[in-house]
Chains A and B, each alone.
Chain A
Amino acid sequence: MSAADAPNRRRRDTWLIFIALSVFTVINLMPLIWAVLTSLKDPRDAFTIPPTIIFEPTLEYHRQVWFENDFFVYLKNSLIVSAGTVLISVPFGSLAAYALSRIPRRSAGPILSALFTIRMFPHMLLAIPFFVMGTFLNLIDSYILLILALVAINQPFTIWLMHGFFLDIPRDLDEAAAIDGCTSWQAFRIVILPLARPGMTVAALFSLLLSYNEFLFALVLTGTSTKTLPVAIASFGGEDISSWSLSAAGAIGIMLPIVVVMLLLQRYLVRGLTAGAVKG
């Protein structure tokens, strides 16, 4: 091949990759597109061979799922659990991560490994004692037990993540604050914390994603009055095909808020995903 061919060949390859990736993306998004269409279909349009793309869309099922079922109650439960988890998880995790980033490396290392080990625990193993203890303490169907469980399983990741952010903040700042007579608490609150805000956004985002989407603990620790959205939609059906449109509307309703939040804050999301891999 002559030297002049190389750029041409490269451009052609780029086009092929672009087309292949486009086709893959469309196929990959099919389940999502199909669910949106189903939620807008009347059952008589939903069950046809071949599947229809042209039909008269109706918002009737979105209305029914929210106004004739208890979805607003489940949404409220989900929001309380998510907010509680984020509000405890991020401050607790930040405190520990800050201290971890300022103590000598030889003592921080084992603590980080221990946290990684905790992250490995199968959730099912924890769900059993939680359920047994919750039954005895009469805390099943309360928010507090679920929130504590979610904070606990989320702490290792939050600390790990925030630790990386605090390491990037120079120690000179703490030392300068100490010379000026600040206690460690004042140095943390006045000097360091404002600089760690992006890190806290990332940590909050991941706590939110986890607590809004979590299913197992929510399934075993909630009851009729504290049921969260994922538990509600799982018990709602999908078995009975005549209720497909209705459950599709519910599923889309659960998906939308979290997807919108995540897309708006996407750059923080990517930072969090890669923090473990790039620094770890």
Chain B
Amino acid sequence: MVSWQRGLWLFFVPSFGLLAVVLLWPLGYAIYLSFFDYFLGTGTRTFIGLGNYIELLSEARLWRSMWTTIIIAFGSVALEFAVGFALALALYRLNSSAKVFSVLLFLPHIVTPVVAALFLKWMLAANWGLVDATLLTFDITPPDWLGDPLWAKVSVILADAWIFTPLIMMVLYAALQGLDASLIEAAQIDGASNWRILRHVIIPALIPAIIFTISVRLMDVFRFFDLIYVLTGGGPGTATETITMYTYQLGFRMLEVGKASALGVITLVIVAALLLSINRALNSIYRGGDR
């Protein structure tokens, strides 16, 4: 068996070879580029050490985009989690008609994100969008959903929630179905209220699924791009410009690829730190609640 197992390493070659060439090499190249002042338009490239990082970190625009990212990330993940969990519980309770509901509620998640963003844009467009047209019918003056700095952020959060709440709902619903139903029945017989059952029986059992969904969503929210690109383009001004959007502007509009690479590296560090601390926090809350 041992010699037989030895042949297994060959199975890794295609996949890991591809990852090395197509992922790790470009990653290394991006880190290398981040130390250069490199304008792709003329191709002039000069080594400036940490110059890009220093310049970026002293820029107001970077910090603004960081805040925007944090507001949008936590706003949308919190909303998605609250609504998704409520929907999962409702589906779990209904049981018989849950199948139809789960299919219909899942639809927004399958729609191509760019297309979904267009749909939402047509809902929120000034005057002629469905939301405004409906509100105007009842003589209510609607806010400028995509043109006002504050409302634009709200619109982006709502749009993100429209697309990703179904994912959280589905994962938590599946986790609920995997629960040992006798635990809940036992608690009901003991006369526990619904709230106490939720708090002490259901939530502790779902912790792995909850950690999984929140980490994956936070990871993705830092790379999400399509939605903002189509919905607001980062505007009005830079009101909805996230780090990702700013990196895109730097790299592909201004062609400052060195500076853009540095910003990409900064993003990677932030995401890694964030995920580590979230995992720790959730784990300790879980252990604390168990006692």
Q: Do A and B come from one complex?
A: yes
Binding site for B on A (CB under 8 A): 13-14, 17-18, 20-21, 24-25, 28-32, 34-35, 38, 46-51, 88, 91-93, 95-96, 98-100, 102-103, 117-133, 135, 148-149, 151-153, 155, 159, 175, 178, 183-185, 188, 209, 212-213, 215-216, 220, 229-230, 233-234, 238, 241, 244, 247-248, 251, 254-255, 258-259, 262-263, 266, 270, 273-274, 276-278, 280
Contacts of A123 in B (CB 8 A): 223, 225
Please state if A38 and B33 are interface contacts (CB–CB under 8 Å): no
A14-B93, A51-B134 known; A124-B223 Cβ under 8 A: yes
Taking a contact as CB atoms closer than 8 A, the residue among B5, B18, B130, B174 that contacts A270 in the complex is: B174
B residues with CB within 8 A of A: 1, 4-5, 7-12, 14-16, 18-19, 22-23, 26-27, 29-30, 33, 40, 87, 90-91, 93-94, 97, 101, 103-105, 107-108, 110-116, 118-123, 125, 127-128, 130, 133-134, 136-137, 162, 167, 170-171, 174-175, 178, 208-209, 212-213, 216, 219, 222-223, 225-226, 229-230, 244, 247-248, 251-252, 257, 260-261, 264-265, 267-268, 271-272, 275
> Once A and B bind, how many residue pairs between them come within 8 Å at the CB atom?
262
Return chain B residues, CB-CB under 8 Å to A124: 223, 225, 244, 247-248, 251, 264, 267
B175 touches A248 (CB 8 A): no
In angstroms, Cα B122 to Cα A164, docked, is: 41
Contacts of B118 in A (CB 8 A): 35, 233-234, 238, 247-248, 251
By beta carbon, the residue of chain A nearest B233 is: A239
Q: Which residue of A lies closest to B165 (CB)?
A: A28
User: What CA separation (Å) do A48 and B133 show in the bound complex?
Assistant: 8
Count chain A CB atoms within 10 A of each CB in B12, B103, B213 and give the residue with the most: B12
Would you call A92 and B15 a contact (CB within 8 A)? yes
Determine if B133 and A258 form an interchain contact, defined as CB atoms under 8 angstroms apart.
no
Give every chain B residue within 8 A of A247 (Cβ-Cβ): 118
Which residue of chain A is the closest to B244 with respect to CB atoms?
A124
A258 to B108 CA separation, bound complex (whole angstroms):
12
**Cβ 8 A contact of A274, one of B16, B93, B97, B170:** B170
What are 24 of the A-B contact pairs (CB < 8 Å)? A25-B101, A28-B108, A31-B119, A31-B122, A31-B123, A46-B128, A49-B136, A95-B11, A96-B14, A103-B8, A117-B272, A122-B244, A128-B257, A132-B33, A155-B18, A183-B7, A185-B10, A213-B114, A238-B122, A254-B112, A255-B115, A273-B170, A277-B175, A277-B208
Contact A95 B4 (CB under 8 A): no
Chain B's closest residue to A20 (CB) is B90
Residues from chain B with Cβ under 8 Å of A276 in the complex: 212, 216
B137 touches A122 (CB 8 A): no
- Contact for B171 among A29, A234, A248, A274, CB less than 8 A: A274
Chain A interface SS verdict (over half): helix
Q: Bound complex: CA of A95 vs CA of B5, how far in Å?
A: 14
Partner of B130, one of A34, A88, A117: A34
Give the one of B11, B213, B225 with max A CB within 10 A: B11
CA gap between A247 and B120 in the complex, in Å: 13
